[in-house]
Chain A
Amino acid sequence: MNLMNPYTIPSTVLLQCVDEETLLFNSANGLFFALNETGAMLWEEMTHATTLHAVIEKMVEVYDVERKQLEADLIAFSQTLVTQGLLSFEQA
């Protein structure tokens, strides 16, 4: 995966917090997707960036995280979001 590829979060995807759970709701298909604590943190950063590279740079600066592990987690997370229709990447 090219970390410099811009991504887009569809406007139909809505974040909600209910009790202590964070969930994404895609109003385009009515499906829900629960985020764990790490996922919620990654999603929050992704809403303020446009590339995975930018997310990594920001998180490495702010949090005490190992870059390699963060990259792997973020790529896996992004791929899941794409599968669920919650994220899309522009072609390089």
Chain B
Amino acid sequence: MVYNFHLLFPNFPQFFLEESDASGTLVIKEEEGIDPLAFPVILIYQNNQDRNVTLATDRHFDTPTADQEWIFTVENVISFAWKTQGGEIAYRFLEEASEDLFRFWLYHIALPIYFSIAQIYKFLHAGAIEIEAKTVLFMAPSFGGKSTLTDYFLQKGHPLVTDDKMATFERDGVYYAVPSHPYHRPFRTVEVLGHECANPASQVRPIHAIYILEKSDPTEDIVIRPLKGIEKFSRLHEGGEMNFSFFTPQYVSYLAGLANCVPVYAIRVPHDLERLEEVHRAIVNHTCPPQELS
């Protein structure tokens, strides 16, 4: 499953991942007739992974409607097309397409855009793992050590929830984390999905805690402190992902709800790879305090 959805690839049956309980099914089908320039309203035009990417839609709008059409194009690689609530995504390979690039852009970017616009999930820029069936998130600015720490936890046997795009949703006042895909990229190479993780998380679970990583001097103590109020909210907002301008009020309100319901901590992380085990132990013990000896 990817983001707790079964993905059906009529053209690539080898991409099918193991079945289990899922929120739904998405059909990902090839469609030669997709025109990357078909839609007049360009929402995003930017460089991502050294490629120009574009998100366009068929109409001007305040809030997306169910039948609104979208095209996400990665220059020279692929175009994805869908309707807001269509339940399927069509794609067309362009000149430089390959199976690996297809899956990278689908899992890493197109699906998060699809789920965000359909308001199925809200995303955070975070790594996440499980500690004894509790999902904890790691957030940090770019080059803040998030991937390094996530990778270390994986090496220690913790299940991977996500290494980059954390899909979340709220139900009955509880905020849940959704496992993204079973690939992990503990290096900076563009357009690469990464290693397939041997131990991916499979269950949607409540978010137990969020740790905001603060890089510190290599000799500094590892300190965990709870965040409150405006500081907590602003740190979460810094780690926002897929925060489209047409959804800003909803996204901000969602973050405030998340901040009010989920504990958020800042952790001082010494800038020393030799001390990663100490950081690991500190977070594990903070999440699951050792039983006190009687």
> A residues touching B (Cβ–Cβ < 8 Å)?
12, 14, 16-21, 23, 25, 27, 30, 32, 34
Contact = CB atoms under 8 A, between A and B. Distances in A.
Given A16-B255, A23-B233, 11 more contacts: A14-B248, A14-B252, A16-B233, A18-B233, A19-B232, A23-B229, A25-B252, A27-B245, A27-B252, A32-B233, A32-B234
Nearest to B228: A19
Contacts of A21: 228-230
B259 interface: yes
Nearest to B258: A18
B10 interface: no
A18 B252 contact: no
B69 to A, nearest CB: 26
A34 B230 contact: yes
Contacts of A17: 256, 260
Given A14-B249, A27-B248, A20 B229 contact: yes
B253 A14 contact: yes
A27 B233 contact: no
Contacts of B228: 18-19, 21
Contacts of B233: 16, 18, 23, 25, 32
Contacts of A27: 245, 248-249, 252
A84 to B, nearest CB: 14
14 contacts: A12-B248, A14-B249, A14-B252, A16-B233, A16-B256, A17-B260, A18-B230, A18-B232, A18-B233, A19-B229, A21-B229, A25-B233, A27-B245, A27-B249
A19 B252 contact: no
Interface in B172-220: none
Contacts of A16: 233, 252-253, 255-256
B227 to A, nearest CB: 9
Majority secondary structure, B binding face: helix
Nearest to A33: B230
B19 to A, nearest CB: 40
A18 B248 contact: no
A19 B253 CA distance: 14
A18 B249 contact: no
B205 to A, nearest CB: 23
A19 B249 contact: no
A19 B260 CA distance: 6
Contact of B230 (A12, A14, A23): A23
Which of A16, A27, A34 has the most chain B CB atoms closer than 10 A to its own CB? Answer: A16
Interface in B217-269: 228-230, 232-234, 237, 245, 248-249, 252-253, 255-256, 259-260
Nearest to A24: B230
The 9 tightest CB contacts between A and B, nearest first, are A21-B229, A16-B256, A18-B233, A27-B248, A18-B259, A19-B229, A34-B230, A23-B230, A19-B228
Nearest to A35: B230
Contacts of B248: 12, 14, 27
Contacts of B234: 32
Nearest to B229: A21
Contacts of A34: 229-230
Contacts of B252: 14, 16, 25, 27
Contacts of A14: 248-249, 252-253
Contacts of B232: 18-19
A19 B226 CA distance: 12
